[in-house]
Amino acid sequence: MSVAGLCEICHENTVEHTCGRCGSLVCDRHVDRRTDLCVECTTDVSDTSRQEKDTTVPETNQYWS
């Protein structure tokens, strides 16, 4: 495999992966191996699930009354 270039996030390490979501070329340190996404997309995805959790919170209010 020939060297494609440098990681688009750190610009230091050699590209090892292509993000399955945004297509960024990233090094081994900036890919999430489970999801095969770059760290930026991994953050996007976890932010979304965090917002979904926030809307589920009101259940706790039942203990208030």
Residues that bind Zn ion (CB under 5 A): 7, 9-10, 13, 19, 21-22, 24, 27, 30, 38, 41
Q: Which is nearer to Zn ion, 23 or 58 (CB)?
A: 23
The string of DSSP letters for 4-62 reads --B-TTTSSSBP-EE-TTT--EE-GGGEETTTTEEHHHHHHHHHHHHHHHHTTGGGGGG
Minimum distance, C-beta of residue 14 to Zn ion, in the bound complex (Å):
9
Q: Which is nearer to Zn ion, 4 or 22 (CB)?
A: 22
Q: Which is nearer to Zn ion, 13 or 63 (CB)?
A: 13
